[in-house]
Structure 1
């Protein structure tokens, strides 16, 4: 049960801009009337809780070493603790359904979804899920559709990570042997499996058309990953796929913007100053107004860092930068009850030391999910 509190003296990022004004919380929501116990947070900032729209950083908690994938539940609880410590109040865990096997295979996806159902009542962070489906897996279309329905998965992103260039030339893809051995598969059988998938690519387009139509009819939100061309974005838009996740080129991003699609880029790309794969720069795209939301991708701390980097660099003010990690992703996900601090919405917030930019406390739905140091002492009245 969440407490009734009035957070006093902090600079709060309201929808209309930052202002030192009391923030009141009751019954898990922001209210417009003073209530409950007062907590002095003068000298700190209060910002909307971060909404992570795509992240696979949870994998390192589920398998810190090769083969150590026994206790998914405890790994997910550890993930939630890291999310909260980074100001994240809603997290979308991006789980693969891939020919790559191992942690990216369908069997492991089942374990993750079952684990999430078990631990959700034990944690405060809202843990959502995204299924990343590898579209060359034609024999699995029925199975993945059944999995999506059974686990009520609200968000599916289509991927294609097959090394088509090497396979089309009859070459052995790089790192194939290590990849096969890591998942316990004979390298030659793994290569033959990939070759079979590649050979059937002409069948994928019509199959994907039909699958997309059925998922949309079932109310599933659809996205596409790593589009490189405007034509690829147009094809996916025609299928009803209106989320462009990590477009690889400016041409693909500009096509998404022209078509009214939502554009997501990785916060680590922006923080490091460019893509580690040589794709389009998130910083350049942000300056051009081509980003609707930033995602943690593989590194949860990068979300907060990216927002402050944009503001410090003069690309936009902090309110606009923070929207890319709060209101922007919430709206893409269809979550109308969060993303900003406004009476009636969920009390999702993070308290930040403006000097160090350190997360001092996080509240999700009015419940404390993380707290440390001097802010903890103030809440305790010490």
Structure 2
């Protein structure tokens, strides 16, 4: 297959030309248009590597579209997969939460079905994107290590992150933001909210340190890549580096992000943070880190369509030095390298033909075609 009349978004530049695919990989590229009549005409759009998503909670929304509503698993997976591919994402780590930070929470009851569905749908070859698993370990909980041990050896597990959402630290240094978030989410009264805060602080003090040490030890033994989460201080960063983290997910301060980047951790921020112009929790804005040169990876987090939007928003932002090629790396080659997925993430000869064609129409950039391993999936 030949794709012609496109702007090829390469690692370090954008070149108008054409591209040839054979047996699911990129065979050749040219800076001239193809004259062959069978070539697909990209009509001047941007041809980018397929986007790589390391942290999305999107699948849970399809499994439980409303409270107390459980959707049939493969139907939920199919809808989730279609949304991701329609957003230009060809490789995804579906994030599942281990440990329940709310007394009586039901989230863990769907875990077996959710993980089994991700694995089985990929095995059956029915997914459009390629799906792996990201285990999000809520460390301030007595069940977290047991739950991690239940799933740690599933071959699809490609990333483990460790998080502590207790109030007064990390993501929720601002306790008022914590109350706004959880009262809005769980409809707590003021009295229930204060009780919830006290419980979470107590659990964090009792369980976080020991669980963090044990889970990271087991990950190092198995060579599973790890990510810190919401690091806020130099002490947090030093601990994450010592424990062997390769990614710093959503650091909350410039200080923590800069220190992480300088120590070799890939700093990941939310694409919704870019699109909205700041953090919904009141923490550091992603565009600030981009301007400082310490932003390495973007994640769509809770909104799949934000990933492509954020790439173009950063490109148009005069506060940083990112051109389209550099901004695209944040959602392609950089996450691929962090997980040692060396066969994808860049348009180059011999790499997988995971590709996204996008066009700018009416002040918005739209995904118009997607290929995974040379097969059109959107």
The normalised TM-score by structure 1 is 0.84
Tell me, in whole angstroms, the C-alpha distance in 1 between the residues paired with 2:293 and 2:274: 14
Q: Could you say which residue in structure 2 is the equivalent of 1:270?
A: 274
Structure 2 gaps, min length 5: none
Q: Relative to structure 2, which stretch is displaced further, 196-205 or 79-88? A: 196-205
For 1:228-281, what per-residue CA distance to the aligned partner results, in whole angstroms no more than 9, with x for missing partners?
A: 111111112111123110001111111112212111000100111110110001
After TM superposition, the structure 1 = structure 2 runs for residues 115-134 of structure 1, keeping only pairs within 5 Å, are 115-120=117-122, 121-134=125-138
After TM superposition, the structure 1 = structure 2 runs for residues 133-212 of structure 1, keeping only pairs within 5 Å, are 133-150=137-154, 152-163=156-167, 195=199, 198=202, 201-202=205-206, 204-212=208-216
After TM superposition, the structure 1 = structure 2 runs for residues 1-382 of structure 1, keeping only pairs within 5 Å, are 5-32=1-28, 37-100=38-101, 105-120=107-122, 121-150=125-154, 152-163=156-167, 195=199, 198=202, 201-202=205-206, 204-314=208-318, 315=320, 316-356=322-362, 357-370=365-378
Query: Against the structure 1 CA distance between its residues 178 and 8, is the aligned structure 2 distance closer, same or farther, given a 3 Å change threshold?
Result: closer
Structure 1 gaps, min length 5: 371-382
Query: Against the structure 1 CA distance between its residues 292 and 178, is the aligned structure 2 distance closer, same or farther, given a 3 Å change threshold?
Result: closer
Shift of 1:14: 2.4
Provide the secondary structure at the position in 2 that maps to 1:353. strand
For 1:45-103, what per-residue CA distance to the aligned partner results, in whole angstroms no more than 9, with x for missing partners?
A: 21111111211123322222111123122111101111111111111211111323688
Q: How many residues align?
A: 357
Provide the secondary structure at the position in 2 that maps to 1:201. helix
Shift of 1:107: 2.5
Tell me, in whole angstroms, the C-alpha distance in 1 between the residues paired with 2:196 and 2:291: 44
Shift of 1:125: 0.4
Tell me, in whole angstroms, the C-alpha distance in 2 between the residues paired with 1:91 and 1:303: 12
Q: Relative to structure 2, which stretch is displaced further, 272-281 or 99-108? A: 99-108
Tell me, in whole angstroms, the C-alpha distance in 1 between the residues paired with 2:371 and 2:96: 25
> Is the CA contact (8 Å cut-off) linking 1:362 and 1:369 kept in structure 2?
yes
Shift of 1:138: 3.5
Provide the secondary structure at the position in 1 that maps to 2:377. strand
Query: Against the structure 1 CA distance between its residues 338 and 176, is the aligned structure 2 distance closer, same or farther, given a 3 Å change threshold?
Result: closer
> Is the CA contact (8 Å cut-off) linking 1:53 and 1:333 kept in structure 2?
no
Tell me, in whole angstroms, the C-alpha distance in 2 between the residues paired with 1:193 and 1:105: 19
Aligned-CA RMSD value? 3.0
> Is the CA contact (8 Å cut-off) linking 1:138 and 1:204 kept in structure 2?
no
The normalised TM-score by structure 2 is 0.85
> Is the CA contact (8 Å cut-off) linking 1:103 and 1:109 kept in structure 2?
no
Shift of 1:176: 7.2
